[in-house]
Amino acid sequence: MKYFLKRVIGTIPVLLGVVLLIFVMLRIIPGNPVVILLGEHYDQATIDRLTDLMGYDQPILLQFVNYVKGALVGDLGVSYKYSRPVTEMIMEALPYTIRLALMAVVFAWGLGLITGIIAAVKKNNFIDRMFMGVSLLGVSMPIFMTSLLLQYIFAFKLGWLPMTEEGTFASMILPAIALGWNSAGSVARMTRSSLIEVMQADYIDTARAKGLRKGAVIIGHALKNSLLPVVTMMALQLSSMLSGAVITESVFAIPGIGRLATTAINNRDMPVLQGTVLFTTVIVIAGNLLADFLYSVLDPRIRKGD
């Protein structure tokens, strides 16, 4: 328990550091949000008035302190472009991102684990080669290509599934597969190699020698021990998916966190960008903590070693 408390406290400087970094970086890059807001229709008087109103010309340290103060009570500021509270915008986008991430993860882990286990059991025969070949395709195919291909074939040409997000389960299938495809490949390959390694250990022979069936040995002994590295990867995958899938969300018109962030970058909408980065940081840190936690559950030596 003490170990986790220490880990959680350790994340505070990381969070502050990230906020400070994004704060400074956003102000170094050129692009006055007021000018972007006005587009082709701008004049000096309006630019000056709005710049003043946004507090964009205040000392950066003051802006930073005010921001951290607000963030502590859940107030992430107001969007320059949309004049709406950033917390509200993130909360609106979050359900879409969670839904997409969970479906993608179920798809990726389900497919990845199954093919990984089968490939390990059928090591070096045809099925193994085929599965690993396909998973290599999964790992190496860029996500925008997967997205466009899936959309073109299954939604546009065949018409089996909706083209864009409509709130229905069916409309989330293609985006989930597109987003989970890479992860499925990684999980499959990692599961296979890890399981093969464990299967060569002496205690597996012992388990077999005492009369256990091969299936029971795999499920009861080998799988649990081989999952350690796979679980770490899964936790990180989950947190990266929850931080928003920029391309998938764009192609399938899903109003999630990733789209919020990209729109904010283009508009130099600092409050929204800071909000989404802070949110993503929290998610990634939580993912790491979860991975550590699962590690210690699966392998108590880590806990004791502390």
Q: Is 264 in the site for other proteins (CB under 8 A)?
A: no
Give the whole-angstrom CA distance, residue 5 versus residue 306. Answer: 12
Quickly list DSSP for 223-235.
HHHHHHHHHHHHH
Contact set for other proteins, span 153-212 (CB under 8 A): 155-156, 159, 162-169
Kindly state the DSSP code that residue 199 receives in the 8-state scheme. H
- Cβ partners under 8 Å of residue 100, min gap 6: 172, 175, 176, 179, 241, 245, 248, 249, 254, 256
Q: Is 126 in the site for other proteins (CB under 8 A)?
A: no
Q: Is 235 in the site for other proteins (CB under 8 A)?
A: no
Q: Is 214 in the site for other proteins (CB under 8 A)?
A: yes
Q: In 3-state terms, what secondary structure has residue 42?
A: coil
- The residue within the footprint of other proteins, chosen from 15, 20, 68, 114 (CB under 8 A), is 114
Alpha-helix residue ranges (DSSP H) falling in 141-168 = 143-150
Q: Is 268 in the site for other proteins (CB under 8 A)?
A: yes
Q: Is 259 in the site for other proteins (CB under 8 A)?
A: yes
Min CB(176)–other proteins separation in Å: 9
> In terms of CB distance, is 152 or 203 closer to other proteins?
152
> In terms of CB distance, is 53 or 136 closer to other proteins?
53
Contact set for other proteins, span 24-53 (CB under 8 A): 29-33, 35-47, 49-50, 53
Report the b/e string of 8-35 with b at 16+ CB within 10 A: eeebeeeeeebbeebbeebeeeeeebbe
> In terms of CB distance, is 273 or 284 closer to other proteins?
273
Min CB(1)–other proteins separation in Å: 28
Q: Is 118 in the site for other proteins (CB under 8 A)?
A: yes
